[in-house]
Amino acid sequence: MEYHPTPMADLSIDDVNRVAALAKLRLTPEEAQALLHDLQGILGHIDTLQDVDVEGIEPMASPLEHTNRLRPDTPQATLDKQAILDLAPETQGDFVSVPRVLEGHAE
Amino acid sequence: MSLPTTALDIAEAVQTGSASARTIIDAAISRIEAHDAAITAFEDVRADQARAMADAVDARIASGDTNLPLAGVPVAVKDCIAVAGEPMTCGSRILEGYVCPFSATAIERLVNAGAVLLGRTRCDEFAMGSSTEHCVSGPVSNPWATDRVPGGSSGGSAAAVAAGFVPVALGTDTGGSIRQPAALCGITGFKPSQGRVPRWGQVSFAPSMDQIGPFTRTAADAAAVMQVISGHDERDATSAADALGMIDLDGDLSGLRIGITKEHRSDDNHPAVNAAVDAAADTCRDLGATIVDVSLKATDLGIACYYVIGPAEASSNLARFDGVRYGRRAAGSSDLAEMYERSRTEGFGPEARRRIVLGTWVLSAGYYDAYYNRALKVRRLISNEYTAQFANVDLLLGPTTPAPAFRKGAISDPVSMYLCDRYTVTANIAGLCGCSIPFGMAQDDDDTLPVGVQLLGPVLGDATVLRAAHVLQSASTHHLAQPVMA
């Protein structure tokens, strides 16, 4: 099945809510409307990239383009376990705890 | 007796015993207590800990330690660079209550060099902004006119140096967040080449463009800080392998070819901005440099390219803030998915949300090739254009910003705010180094405001940029102007 993305100019509130949900953000209707307006403005500017001839140009993910640089594989000090647990909002014993993950599997 | 004010003068005074680190830090704390209520550059001033650090530096001097190039120099730190044992919020509610378990490489190196950490400075949330108005604890005022912004995102660090609170502050620059506030606050701001300063301990916004760098009054101080904080660290595999080396600041500019980018000397700029560039070019010529006109067409695409790549990387990096392992968790969620959503929705402010959604968008199925991949190709075109220019010139000179500091609240439209960075973002896109130095004043309504010019150098050309900035300052007085504090 071929997927046809919405052209930027035709963005809808549903698109904004769908992408916000992908990013784990929940918007009120007013926030979604404001964001739609902002994104239309920003994407209108970004669309100037579509006019550039990039035929045969390789993408450049970083200006550094290093080859892999490996360090010696030797044991090193890490953060103390308790220091890491102390950062977590909720813990149980040596674990970070979260609300239930799946329906029907109560804690 | 008046105390020294530059980092180099302070270090010399502390090293030779003509002033103690304790005296220096006490004076800095007093000045902040007297004046920061009107500026709110600082998120947090840790006076007791700073005094203890200063005492430790004095003890190291007394015990014969001669390896303290920044002895007793007070340093303020942008609130997105980790200092062990200190809170760090990144200007965001989502890091409420967070305390850093380790220090950034740059911080470790500053402390080893004898610097005294004085506190954290306010910034736009996750370093996203050009005005420091997007900070959860409130905005920062420009010391030259307190109803105006200091620039951003490192506005607190820039204002802290401009107000004379500290001789050195660390900022971060992903699209201009050091150079732009330096220009708007009338101080020196240096954005190192990508990889020069390890990013270990710097909260990632867009790692292919993020760099830590110094705010100072003088380019000589910026060079002194760079000697300390630059250099490879294996904890950041993208940090540059080759060392910066000792920067020789002496001499003039003879033999240097400096290009003026035509496209940046625009009628859209405030007239004082173009006048500052002309004045800087004339001074460079007087100092022996050859000035040539250059054209950089692809730089017009900078903002469009940046606002694809930056948000794409940000949406990925900010995925880690989910309320699970650190930071603020929303209370009372019935399952994990709701907890993620509520923690992030309550935790992120409007600008961070905008960029996360935009970034998620350009990376999503159907848009990746049309936007993200295309922006990466345009990035190479921009980079290639700079590479071609730097085969012909040693440095580029131009405006740092199109205009001096604007009033708080004056720019509410995101695109207009983003365009404030149109002369700075291409350096991050291409990995270049750049230094903004004050080079004149603008009259805007009743306010007299500083104007900056920017020297850009090729990747790893940091020493040449810093030397040229220093030579320019040695032959001029613009960097000596200071705001009158209420």
The residue extents of the domains of chain A are 8-50
Query: Which chain A residues contact residue B418 at CB under 8 A?
Result: 42, 45
Non-local (6+) Cβ contacts of A87 within 8 A are B98, B99, B101, B325, B326
The pLDDT value given to residue A70: 80
**pLDDT confidence band for A104 (50 / 70 / 90):** low
Non-local (6+) Cβ contacts of B255 within 8 A are B288
Maximum CA extent, chain B: 70
Residues 296-315 of B with CB under 8 A from A: 301, 303-305, 307-308, 315
3-state secondary structure labels for all residues of chain A:
CCCCCCCHHHCCHHHHHHHHHHCCCCCCHHHHHHHHHHHHHHHHHHHHHHHCCCCCCCCCCCCCCCCCCCCCCCCCCCCCHHHHHHHCCCEECCEECCCCCCCCCCC
Domain ranges of chain B: 1-486
pLDDT at residue B297 greater than cutoff 90? no
Compare CB distances from B304 to A48, A69, A96 and report the shortest one's residue: A48
Tokens for B377, please give them: 């190709």
Tokens for B53, please give them: 């650090």
Active-site option among B92, B154, B177, B315? B177
Q: Is the dihedral of CA B299, B435, B141, B209 positive or negative?
A: positive
Which of A57, A36, A42, A39 has the alpha carbon at shortest distance from B305? A42
Return the minimum-mean-pLDDT range out of A52-66, B216-230, B374-388: A52-66
Which of B148, B183, B140, B130 has the alpha carbon at shortest distance from B165? B140
Residues 192-221 of B with CB under 8 A from A: 194-195, 208
Non-local (6+) Cβ contacts of A42 within 8 A are B307, B354, B358, B414, B415, B418
Average pLDDT over chain B reads 96
pLDDT at residue A1 greater than cutoff 50? no
Check B238 against A60: CB less than 8 A apart. Answer: no
Q: What are phi and psi of A34, to 5 degrees?
A: -65, -40
Which of B182, B224, B143, B155 has the alpha carbon at shortest distance from B437? B182
pLDDT at residue B437 greater than cutoff 60? yes
The residue-averaged pLDDT of B120-139 equals: 97
Query: Within an 8 Å CB–CB cutoff, is residue A9 touching chain B?
Result: no
**pLDDT confidence band for A67 (50 / 70 / 90):** low
CA distance B340 to B327: 12
Maximum CA extent, chain A: 58
Could you confirm whether B177 is annotated as catalytic? yes
The residue-averaged pLDDT of A27-34 equals: 94
Q: Is the dihedral of CA A30, A31, A32, A35 positive or negative?
A: positive
Phi-psi region of B327 (alpha: psi -120 to 50; beta: other; left: phi over 0): left
In angstroms, how far is CA B194 from the centroid of its own chain?
Answer: 13
Query: Within an 8 Å CB–CB cutoff, is residue A89 touching chain B?
Result: yes
Nearest CA in chain A to B313: A61
Which amino acid appears at position A100 of this protein?
Answer: R
Query: Which chain A residues contact residue B99 at CB under 8 A?
Result: 87
pLDDT at residue B446 greater than cutoff 80? yes
Cβ-count burial B228-260 (b if 16+ within 10 Å, e if not)? bbbbbbeebebbbeeebeebebeeebeebebbb
**pLDDT confidence band for A4 (50 / 70 / 90):** very low
Contact B303, B382 (CB under 8 A): no
The residue-averaged pLDDT of A40-47 equals: 91
Which amino acid appears at position B1 of this protein?
Answer: M
CA distance A106 to A99: 9
Q: Is B406 helix (H, G, I), strand (E, B) or coil?
A: coil
In angstroms, how far is CA B246 from the centroid of its own chain?
Answer: 22
CA distance A34 to A47: 20
The pLDDT value given to residue A6: 52
Which of B198, B31, B55, B59 has the alpha carbon at shortest distance from B116? B55
pLDDT at residue A9 greater than cutoff 80? no
Q: Is B355 helix (H, G, I), strand (E, B) or coil?
A: helix
Query: Within an 8 Å CB–CB cutoff, is residue A3 touching chain B?
Result: yes
Nearest-neighbour CA in chain B from A28: distance (Å): 10
The pLDDT value given to residue A101: 86
Residues 90-129 of B with CB under 8 A from A: 98-99, 101-102
Nearest-neighbour CA in chain A from B117: distance (Å): 23
Query: Within an 8 Å CB–CB cutoff, is residue A11 touching chain B?
Result: no
pLDDT at residue A2 greater than cutoff 50? no
Check B414 against A84: CB less than 8 A apart. Answer: no
- In tens, the pLDDT along B226-275 reads 999 999 998 998 999 888 888 999 889 999 999 999 999 899 999 999 99
pLDDT at residue B198 greater than cutoff 80? yes
Contact B119, B208 (CB under 8 A): no
Dump strand ranges (E) for B116-199: 116-121, 168-173, 188-191
> What CATH code would you report for B1-486?
3.90.1300.10
Check B376 against A59: CB less than 8 A apart. Answer: yes
Could you confirm whether B153 is annotated as catalytic? yes
The pLDDT value given to residue B366: 87
Could you confirm whether B154 is annotated as catalytic? no
The residue-averaged pLDDT of B192-197 equals: 97
Check A35 against B354: CB less than 8 A apart. Answer: yes
Helix (H) or strand (E) holding B302, with range, is: helix B302-317
- In tens, the pLDDT along A10-21 reads 789 999 999 999
Check B194 against A64: CB less than 8 A apart. Answer: yes
The pLDDT value given to residue A7: 54
Nearest CA in chain B to A16: B357
Q: Is the dihedral of CA A60, A66, A67, A72 positive or negative?
A: negative
Nearest-neighbour CA in chain A from B324: distance (Å): 7
Query: Within an 8 Å CB–CB cutoff, is residue B330 touching chain A?
Result: no
- Residue owning tokens 């594989």: A73
* Cα B202–Cα B207–Cα B213 angle in degrees, nearest 5: 50
Q: Is B319 helix (H, G, I), strand (E, B) or coil?
A: helix
Check B354 against A57: CB less than 8 A apart. Answer: no
Active-site option among B153, B230, B343, B436? B153
The pLDDT value given to residue A66: 67
- In tens, the pLDDT along B67-104 reads 999 999 999 999 999 999 999 999 999 999 999 999 99
The pLDDT value given to residue A69: 75
Contact B85, B120 (CB under 8 A): no
Q: Is B136 helix (H, G, I), strand (E, B) or coil?
A: coil
Supply the ipTM of this predicted assembly: 0.91
pLDDT at residue B299 greater than cutoff 80? no
Q: Domain A8-50 belongs to what topology?
A: Histone, subunit A (1.10.20)
Check B335 against A61: CB less than 8 A apart. Answer: no
